Amino acid sequence: MWTLNAFPPNPPLPPKKPLKPKPLLLHSLSKSGHLDEALSLLLKSHPPIPPTTNLEAYSHLLHSFITHKSLRHGELLHRHLLHSTPSLLRHPLIKSKLITLYSVCARIESARLVFDEDDDDEPSWTAMVVAFSKNGLHEDSLSLYAGNASWRSDFADSAVLKSCSVLSAVRLGRAVHARVLKSAREPDQVVLNALVRLYVKCGTLDEALKAFDGMPQRNVVSWNSLLSGFVDRGFFIECLDLFRRMQIESSVGFSWVTLTTVLSACSQITALYNGREVHAQMVKSREEPDIVVLNSLMDMYAKCGVVEYCERVFRGMGGHDLTSWNTMLTCYAINGCARDALELFDEMVGRGVGVKPDGVTFVALLSSCAHAGFVDEGRRLFDRMDVEFGVRKKVEHFACLVDLLGRAGLIDEAFEVAEKMPMRPGGSVWGSLLNSCRLHGDVKLGEIAAMRLFEIEPNNAGNYVLFSNMFARERMWEEAEKVRVAMEEKGLKKEVGRSWVQVGSRIHSFVAGGGVSFRSSSEYKKVWEELVEAMEREGYVPDTDVVLHDVDEGTKAEWVCGHSERIAVVFGLVNSGDGIPIRIMKNLRVCDDCHNVMKVVSKVTRRLIVMRDTNRFHHFRNGACSCGDFW
């Protein structure tokens, strides 16, 4: 590299030579990204480039335009060809590259026009199948592919398999699979990976594992395909196990995509320990992590309730995209840090940041305000979001506003919003109103909200549970029971309550009413008896009347046998040392009684209990919960 001081003395000027438009020069210009120069060299050269080299020259140029996604240059060249040598547009090489160029520039209609112009050829057909798939026109990809039985290419196969997995078109996927197997050639790695993704997404797990284990070799994408499929299907523990297996038996290492996927699994089951391990891997790899994996890392800490680490990652990363900001805001929202959320938003929309808030941003802000009872701030943000920030109000924002008002006890006003909003309210709005009525004991309005809710979501058992709990909270046992009976008569089953608890490096999962073997262990009994004693001293009275406990009558009275989070917390106490926080993830809303139990347990054991339920965190510390008993 030259510095100013080291600049060498001027060399003698070489004799001036006329610039000749050699393909070599063209090539190096386009390769180095000088697209303007390359294009004008080609179009304006005198004498013109001989026709025999045109094809090669145009093809090089188009390739550069594709890699630079330069629509402008591509269109210029396209127009030039139309005027000068339209015959070249029919050449498979040129035609397929033009299709690809339009595809990578998201101009699918232009690509389609180029394709439809003339007779098909295999390269253009392939490019078009890929183009449809890449641009989300999966049906078109399928029908173009299926409409041609004679052509086959690995590129078309992998693209159409991707579309098949999006559309769950397993039948066509299997047909492609059969073609691949029948072909004389070695199956292509990318196609095999796409098959794994297809089967894990919409086949049986057996089929997916068979496809995976049957591969002659597996690269990092093969592993990632299976890992991300597990996450899609909710097999989080399987994802973590597979990641472990990947590190032990595979020499392919991992990519940021691997870690992003694993982190997403961690955050969905609050697997903080595993998430930390992934974080350590990132640090150890000494590579610069990309923004996607850093965002996922933030999300993992956020969903595990470790706000401070989420902040640390956020502050330490090189730059922030919209997702980074939204993840940080969401972290504050679900962890009950409304003040921090509002401050961060000011920073986000301040000078020089360069991101624009979107709908997600305002969901985070409005729900922060709702949880904290910041009615005025929330209302103001709701008013500002479209006029000041140009973000269109959608149904979820109205739902947040209704939640904000309803939680604060302004139930009439919340109802008015629900009834006057410009779109159909939807289940989330009436559901949130019903929850507000439950919180404030407004049984009359609660009944109205419930009726609206049942019209929209007649088969959602969770709504009946909420409705019944509203009565139960008011000690209206008969009504609560009636709702429960109505639910059973409709054949609706409450989703099985499930909790996950982290102990050491492992996640353990417990089902409501289940966990028999652990519950009959002597350690469990000992801890349980101690807890009952301590809790009685604290004045805790088990609420055995709470209906809809998802256990049978006989065990209802045994407080510790019912809900999965209770089993999980005792398991955590038994299996972790003094002072170690216990982290629980729950798939349903926590009930009043369990919430009381957790508060007392946190006090008598002096442990921090962090519990995530379907929509927020509860940090139980010394007998109190961060949610202020408001959820």
Q: Which residues of 200-215 are buried (b: 16+ CB within 10 A; e: fewer)?
A: bbbbeeebbeebbeee
CB of 413 to DNA, least distance (A): 23
Which CB atom, from 60 or from 599, has the smaller least distance to DNA? 60
CB of 522 to DNA, least distance (A): 40
CB of 250 to DNA, least distance (A): 12
Which CB atom, from 279 or from 566, has the smaller least distance to DNA? 279
Give Cα separations from 561 to 34, 184, 454, 517, 525 (angstroms).
Answer: 71, 60, 31, 12, 11
Q: How many H-runs (helices) and E-runs (strands) does the chain carry?
A: 33, 6
Which CB atom, from 256 or from 540, has the smaller least distance to DNA? 256
CB of 185 to DNA, least distance (A): 11
Rg (CA), the chain: 31
Q: How far apart are the first and last CA of the chain?
A: 62
Which CB atom, from 257 or from 434, has the smaller least distance to DNA? 257
Give Cα separations from 470 to 480, 545, 548 (angstroms).
Answer: 8, 13, 12
Residues 6+ apart with CB under 8 A from 602: 608, 609, 620, 621, 622, 623, 624
In the chain, % helix, strand, coil (3-state, to 5) comes to: 65, 5, 30
Which CB atom, from 25 or from 476, has the smaller least distance to DNA? 25
- Cβ(317)–Cβ(351) under 8 Å? no
CA angle centred on 393, ends 389 and 395, rounded to 5°: 155
CB of 310 to DNA, least distance (A): 11
Which CB atom, from 157 or from 442, has the smaller least distance to DNA? 157
Which CB atom, from 327 or from 468, has the smaller least distance to DNA? 327
Chain residues binding DNA by CB under 7 A are 31, 59-60, 63, 66, 92-93, 96-97, 100, 104, 122-123, 126-127, 130, 134, 153-155, 157-159, 162, 188-191, 193-194, 197, 219-222, 224-225, 228, 231-232, 255-258, 260-261, 264, 267, 290-293, 295-296, 299, 303, 321-323, 326-327, 330, 358-360, 363-364, 367, 396
Which CB atom, from 51 or from 253, has the smaller least distance to DNA? 253
Which CB atom, from 549 or from 612, has the smaller least distance to DNA? 612
CB of 26 to DNA, least distance (A): 11
- DSSP state at residue 304: T
Largest CA distance in the chain: 103
CA angle centred on 530, ends 528 and 536, rounded to 5°: 100
CB of 102 to DNA, least distance (A): 12
CB of 261 to DNA, least distance (A): 5
H/E element, 621: strand 617-621
Q: In what order do the strands lie in the sheet with 617-621?
A: 506-511, 498-503, 582-586, 609-612, 617-621, 624-625
Parallel, antiparallel, or unpaired: how do β-strands 609-612 and 582-586 relate? parallel
Q: Is 612 left (phi over 0), alpha (psi -120 to 50) or beta?
A: beta
Which CB atom, from 332 or from 467, has the smaller least distance to DNA? 332
In 10 A of CB 526, how many CB atoms?
11
CB of 587 to DNA, least distance (A): 15
CB of 520 to DNA, least distance (A): 37
